[in-house]
Amino acid sequence: MSNHETADQLDELLNRTLADVFGFRSFRPYQREIARAIIQGRDVFAVMPTGGGKSLCYQLPAIIRQGVCVVVSPLLSLMKDQVDSALKNGVNAATINSTTSSTEWREIMIALDRNQLDLLYVSPERFNTPSFADFLTEIDVSFFAVDEAHCISQWGHNFRADYLELGRIVEAFPQCPVAAFTATATELVGEDIKTSLKLRDPLCIKASFDRPNLFYQITYKESVDDQIVDFLKSARGESGIIYRSTRKKVEQTAETLRARGFNAEAYHAGMSDEDRAAVQERFANDETPIIVATIAFGMGIDKSNVRFVVHGDLPKDVESYYQETGRAGRDGAPARCLLLYGYQDVIIYQKFLDDYEDETAKEAARKRLDEMVRFAEADSCRRVNLLKYFGETYAPIDLAPDESLADSDGKGDASYKARSSTYCGSCDVCVGASPREDATIEAQKALSAMQRTGNRFGVGHIIDVLTGKKTEKIERFRHDELPTFGVGADHSRVYWKYLIQSLMSQGIVGLAPDFEFPIPQVTGLGWEVMRGQRKVQIIKRPEKRRQREKRLAAATTSQAYDKFSLSPSDSRLFEMLRAKRMEVAAAEHVPPYVVFSDKSLVDMVYLKPQSDENFLLVQGVGRAKLKNYGRIFMRVIEKFLKEQNGERDE
C-alpha cells in the first residue's frame, strides 16, 4: 500500500480497515489522529489510559504502511497475547524472543524476506543485541512502536535500564517514524521519554486519564482478609486481581480465600519461572479466576475481562495505583477497584525509604508516597482527585437543584453534595457508600489522652486510657488517675484505633520521629481541634460485619456499577456464549478473551445476530473473526432462541 494518500483517501482507508480487520465502526478518541500521523511518517508520543486502545494505534498503520512495524514490548507473555490477538484478526504478526525455536526463526525470516509480516514484536533486551540490530538493517522496517514507554524514564515508576538503548533507533533508522506509547506519565516523565527517544517534532497526544467504566472505592483497613472475602461475595464467578505488598501476605491471603471456597492462586517473584507462567496461563484461560499477587504480576496482562482489582495494601505511588487498577475493565465493561488503606502502610514505606542511600531517589520516592497518601485520604470524589494528579480537570455530572445523592440506607447524603460541586456517579464517595460523620468530641478525647500522657506512649496505651482498661503500665504511670481515663468506654477499641488512624491521615496527629516505635503526638492542627477551632469529620465506620457487607453491596449494586444490565434470560445466553468461548479457546490453545471480549459477547446477547451481515455489527467482529467463529456462535444463539420459543433443538 502506498504511503502517499490524499487526506480523504487515507481516512476512507482507515475507516474500512478498522471495520474489516478489527470489527469497530468508530475510532476511540485520538486513535485516528495517531494512526494518520504514523502513516504519514511523523513521530508520535501518546499518553493513553490502559484500555484506551493503544495497540490499535500502531497495528492499524502497520497494516497500511509498506514494510514491518517493529514493536518493542517489555514482557514475553504480553507479546504472545498481542500476537495471538493480531492473528485472530487476520493481521500477520510474529515475535522473536528467547523462546523462539530455530524452526520458528527460519519461518519468520522467510516471511520478512517476502514482506508477509505486518508486526514483529521484540523485547528491549533482544533489540539491544548487536546481531539483531544488524538484522534489522537488512529488512524493510516500516516504523518502530515503543510500548510501555515510561520504562525509559528514571523519573517513572517502572524504570528499566534496557529501555535506555532505544534512544539509538532514530540514529540507526532515520527514515523510520517512531511512536511511543504509555498509559501513565507525569509532565516530567513525558518530557524525559521524548528526550530519551530523540523524537523529532512528534505529534503529542495526551488522552483523558478517565476510565468511566471503573468504580473506585477506598476504605480503611480492619481485617484485610475478611474485608476481601466480603468484597468477593459480590463477585462470584468474576475474574480479578488482588494485590498485596509482600510475598508472605500474598500466600496468606490466597490460602484464606481457598479455605473460604474461592478459586484463587498466589503469584510472586519468589516462585519459579515455570510456576509463575503456569499460574498466569490459568488466569488468562479463566481456569483460575482470582490471582493474589505482588506487583510482580501485572505488566504482562492483556486480559480484557478482569472485572475487579483489589489493593489490600497502599500502592507506593499514584501512577502505580492507576496502572494496576487500569488492568480492570480493559474491554470497556464495568469493573470495580477497591483500595484498603491503613496508616500502618505509610509507616512501613517510610521505614523502607530510610534505607535508600541515594538522597535524590529517596526524596522522589517520598514525594510520590505523600501524593498517594493524600489521594487515599481525600474525602471528595475519587475520580476528581485521581485525574487532578495527572493534571486533568474532571467534567462533573450536573445535578438538578432538587437532586440528592442517596447513601446505602436510601437517605440523601446532603453533606457531600453541599461540600462538592462534582459528582462522578461512579465512586464510593459520590454514590454515598462512604458517608461521613462528625467526630470532633471523640477526637478531642483522644488528643487529650495523648497530651496528658506526655505524648510518649503508643496507640495501644492511649486506647487503654480512653477505654478505662487497667494494665500494669497504666497503674505504674498512674494514668488511671487522669481525667481522660475511661472517657471513651462507650466505644470499642477497634473504633478508637480507627479514629486515631483517621486523625493521623488528616494531619491532626503526627508520629514522633525520635522514638523506636511509632508514638502519636498532637500537631498544630490537633491543638486547633482541642481548642474548638476546627471540626473533625471521618468516614462513618460500620462496626458490625453485616453493616460492612451492606455498604459493599450498596456500592456494587448502585446505578454507577451495573455489570452488564442483562435480564435473567439474557444472562443465560451470555453464560452459554461464554461457555462456547471457553471451549473454542481451549481447542485453539489461546486465552478466551483473544477469541472474543466480554463486551463482544454482551453485544451478541443484545443483537442476537442470525446472519453474517448482522454478526459483523457485533463490536470486535471483523472479516477474519466472522469467517472463523460466526457460524459457531450463531448456532448457540439459535439454540437459545429455540429454547425461548419452546422449540426442541434437533
Reported as a single tens digit per residue, the pLDDT across 478-498 is: 999 999 999 999 999 888 988
Q: How many CA atoms lie within 13 A of 374 on its CB side?
A: 12
| The three three-digit cell numbers of residue 525, written as one number | 492542627
Helix (H) or strand (E) holding 513: none
pLDDT number for residue 358: 81
**60: nearest Cα among 76, 44, 49:** 44
Greater model confidence, 29 or 632: 632
Burial of 185 (0-12, 13-18, 19+ CB in 10 A): buried
With respect to CATH, is domain 437-539 assigned 1.10.10.10? yes
Question: Could you tell me the pLDDT band of residue 519, with boundaries at 50, 70 and 90?
Answer: confident
Q: Give the pLDDT confidence score for residue 549 in this predicted structure.
A: 54
Query: How far is CA 110 from each of CA 64, 99, 115, 135, 260, rounded to the nearest angstrom?
Result: 21, 19, 9, 13, 53
The pLDDT, as a whole number, for residue 1 is 43
Number of helices (H), then strands (E), in the chain: 28, 17
Q: Do domains 7-206 and 214-392 have the same CATH topology?
A: yes
Residue 372: DSSP 8-state: H
What are the grid coordinates assigned to 241, written together? 486481581
CATH classification code of 7-206: 3.40.50.300
- The whole-angstrom separation of Cα 383 and Cα 424 is 7
Q: How far apart are CA 127 and CA 83, in angstroms?
A: 17
User: Of the candidates 321, 313, 266, 324, which has an alpha carbon nearest to the alpha carbon of residue 290?
Assistant: 266
**What is the structure's pLDDT at 637?**
96
Mean pLDDT of 299-306: 74
Nearby residues of 619 by Cβ (< 8 Å), 6 or more positions away? 23, 24, 25, 599, 600, 603
Q: Is the dihedral of CA 170, 173, 179, 181 positive or negative?
A: negative
Task: Report domain 568-644's class.
Answer: mainly alpha
Coil, helix or strand at residue 377: helix
Question: β-pairing, 509-511 with 203-206?
Answer: unpaired
Cβ atoms of 224 and 311 within 8 Å: the answer is: no
Residue 6 banded pLDDT, cuts 50, 70, 90: confident
* pLDDT confidence bin for 548, thresholds 50/70/90: low
3-state secondary structure of 537: strand
Cβ(319)–Cβ(339) below 8 Å: no
- More confidently predicted of 503 and 605: 605
Task: Supply the pLDDT for residue 561.
Answer: 53
The rounded mean pLDDT for the chain is 85
The rounded distance, in Å, linking the Cα atoms of 332 and 593 is 13
537/45 Cα distance (integer angstroms): 43
DSSP 6: -
Quick check: 354 and 334 in contact, CB under 8 A?
no
Residue spans of the domains in the chain: they are 7-206, 214-392, 437-539, 568-644
Mean of pLDDT values over 573-585: 94
Residues near 113 by Cβ (< 8 Å), separated by ≥ 6? 139
Span 453-463, average pLDDT:
92
Question: Which of 32-36, 90-94, 216-220, 346-350 bottoms out in mean pLDDT, i.e. has the lowest?
Answer: 346-350
Distance (Å, whole) CA 413 – CA 404: 7
Mean pLDDT of 432-442: 82
Statement: residue 100 has pLDDT above 50:
yes
* pLDDT at residue 417, as a whole number: 42
- All three cell numbers of 489: 468506654
Amino acid 260: pLDDT = 94
Looking at residue 430, its pLDDT comes to 82
- pLDDT tens sequence across 181-240: 988 777 888 899 999 999 999 999 988 889 889 999 998 888 899 999 999 988 888 899
Lowest pLDDT segment from 80-84, 178-182, 428-432? 428-432
Which band of pLDDT confidence, cut at 50, 70 and 90, is reported for residue 378? confident
* Pairing of the two strands 214-220 and 335-341: parallel
Domain 214-392, classified CATH 3.40.50.620, yes or no: no
